[in-house]
Amino acid sequence: MFETLSDRLTSALQNLRGKGKLTDADVDATAREIRIALLEADVALPVVRTFINQIKQRAKGAEVSQALNPAQQVIKIVNEELVGILGGETRRLNLAKNPPTVIMLAGLQGSGKTTLAGKLAMHLKKQGHAPLLVACDLQRPNAVTQLQVVGERAGVRVFAPEPGNGVGDPVAVARDSVAEARSAQHDVVIVDTAGRLGVDEEMMRQAADIRDEVEPNETLFVVDAMIGQDAVSTAEAFRDGVGFTGVVLTKLDGDARGGAALSVREVTGAPILYASNGEKLEDFDAFHPDRMASRILGMGDMLTLIEQAEQAFDQEQAEQAASKLSTGEMTLEDFLDQMLAVRKMGPIGNLLGMLPGAGQMKDQLAGIDDNYLDRLQAIIRGMTPEERANPKIINGSRRSRIANGSGVQVREVNDLVNRFFEARKMMQQMAGQFGMGGGKSATK
């Protein structure tokens, strides 16, 4: 899921790379491409509109960042807006102060409710809870048996009416299950309710009756992410008919376009709590809007880099370095400062791996690791301030002294001095990639 959307968003954003400045026309063109990508992924129209307006408004100059270049800024905005429509913060399950916590599941038949009941039960069991599964779908033949099979696989007890008593009363079953949970020390009750192939009044009324009887702490609307645009109308019908506190997306492993996932939260206002992505009980996890957004954007590494660049960024220092780079006045002292600033962002191998375009600079970057940088730092620290400011004076005898003092071979000092200008060139390129200097110096 999300592959096409991901590809299209990436290519829309790729067009911005290398631009020193973004014009309104650039922003409009990118917004247009993002809009098409979202519509093709079946995202609901009102959601697309809000999203695009936000992107345009924010990208058109409002936030001038010193740490990021324009393309990085737009990626950051798109990511933040994606996280926003997916719900922002991760929403955890609300547990009752006085157990048992009652969780009611509602949704269409085939949405994956019964499977989900088992997945959720197993998930909670792993966290140390003692859940009780409750079969309140007494309409569909086999629904009770299916829940019992799922419960057995999850290793969780199932509460169901005795067979042979005719069609039972789901409201009574729900009520009795809560009493049973209290006496048998179950701290969570998961109530599986009846679904229909389409929304109908009787189903809604039954679910609402169960809700009124057991007053759930959470009512989770279970929705098949493969049903596309219908997800939104179904969600609205359930919101109006039963009401729910959270959403569970199922079948995210399918090859559908994923619009449902991106629309449901924004349209209903209810947070997505869990996502299911397969038929096995293990194919299930808590839903994290930020992780989902970076998966959709397909730029996990780029986003990490952007975050780190912002954190490590020291404006004053970067401006000084930028002006020195542009006038060719950079000294070994500056080189050391810059190296320390870059290293604040994490192990150098990780950083280089995350750089778009690092592949093209492979030759210059070969052999650069933290060990190498440690030795470079030691050598520069072994120099006098005069030597650092003016590397040209570092003659043969100075080189031996520096090598002795910093515990390296003379060859390495030679190497450093000789490669200083080369390294300066590389720093210039890296400064551009990292956006240090806010794009002002990047291309000089």
Q: Which residues are annotated as part of the binding site for GTP? A: 107-114, 192-196, 250-253
Which amino acid type is present at position 80? E
417 contacts 394 by C-beta, under 8 angstroms: yes
Residue number with CB closer to ligand GDP (139 or 320): 139
Query: Site residues for ligand GDP, window 148-207 (CB under 6 A)?
Result: 195
Q: How far is the CB of 432 from ligand GDP (least distance, A)?
A: 44
Q: Which one among 4, 90, 148, 277 touches ligand GDP, defined by CB under 6 A? A: 277
Judged by CB under 6 A, the stretch of 82-90, 109-117, 312-320, 430-438 that binds ligand GDP is: 109-117
Cβ-based neighbours of 278, under 8 Å, separated by 6 or more: 253, 284
Cβ-based neighbours of 162, under 8 Å, separated by 6 or more: none
Q: Which two tokens stand for residue 73?
A: 């800024």
Q: Is 258 in the site for ligand GDP (CB under 6 A)?
A: no
Give the position of tokens 């631009």: 19
Helices marked H in 127-169 — which ranges?
Answer: 143-154
Size of the site for ligand GDP (CB under 6 A): 18
Residue number with CB closer to ligand GDP (74 or 225): 225
Burial status of residue 166 (CB atoms within 10 A of its CB: 0-12, 13-18, 19 or more): exposed
Q: How far is the CB of 116 from ligand GDP (least distance, A)?
A: 6
Q: Which two tokens stand for residue 172?
A: 């009574």
Q: Which one among 35, 58, 76, 113 touches ligand GDP, defined by CB under 6 A? A: 113
71 bridge partner residues: none
Q: How far is the CB of 254 from ligand GDP (least distance, A)?
A: 6
Q: Is 94 in the site for ligand GDP (CB under 6 A)?
A: no
Q: Which two tokens stand for residue 37?
A: 């990508």
Q: Is 87 in the site for ligand GDP (CB under 6 A)?
A: no
Residue number with CB closer to ligand GDP (78 or 222): 222
Find how far residue 179's CA is from the centre of its chain: 40
Judged by CB under 6 A, the stretch of 70-78, 278-286, 380-388, 402-410 that binds ligand GDP is: 278-286
Give the position of tokens 């096995």: 280
Report the half-sphere exposure of 90 (CA within 13 A, side-chain side): 11
Q: Which one among 187, 200, 253, 314 touches ligand GDP, defined by CB under 6 A? A: 253
Q: How far is the CB of 114 from ligand GDP (least distance, A)?
A: 3
Judged by CB under 6 A, the stretch of 39-47, 61-69, 122-130, 246-254 that binds ligand GDP is: 246-254
Judged by CB under 6 A, the stretch of 8-16, 128-136, 245-253, 352-360 that binds ligand GDP is: 245-253
Q: Is 251 in the site for ligand GDP (CB under 6 A)?
A: yes
Residue number with CB closer to ligand GDP (195 or 228): 195
C-alpha dist (Å) from residue 303 to 69, 72, 212, 222: 13, 8, 45, 31
Q: How far is the CB of 113 from ligand GDP (least distance, A)?
A: 3
Q: Is 114 in the site for ligand GDP (CB under 6 A)?
A: yes
Q: Per-residue x/- marks for ligand GDP, 390-429, CB under 6 A?
A: ----------------------------------------
Report the half-sphere exposure of 372 (CA within 13 A, side-chain side): 10
Helices marked H in 60-103 — which ranges?
Answer: 70-85
DSSP string for residues in 346-400? S-HHHHHHHSTTGGGGHHHHTT--HHHHHHHHHHHHTS-HHHHH-GGG--HHHHH
Spatial CA neighbour of 106 closest among 262, 240, 215, 244 = 244
Contact residues toward ligand GDP (CB under 6 A) are 107, 109-115, 195, 250-251, 253-254, 276-279, 283
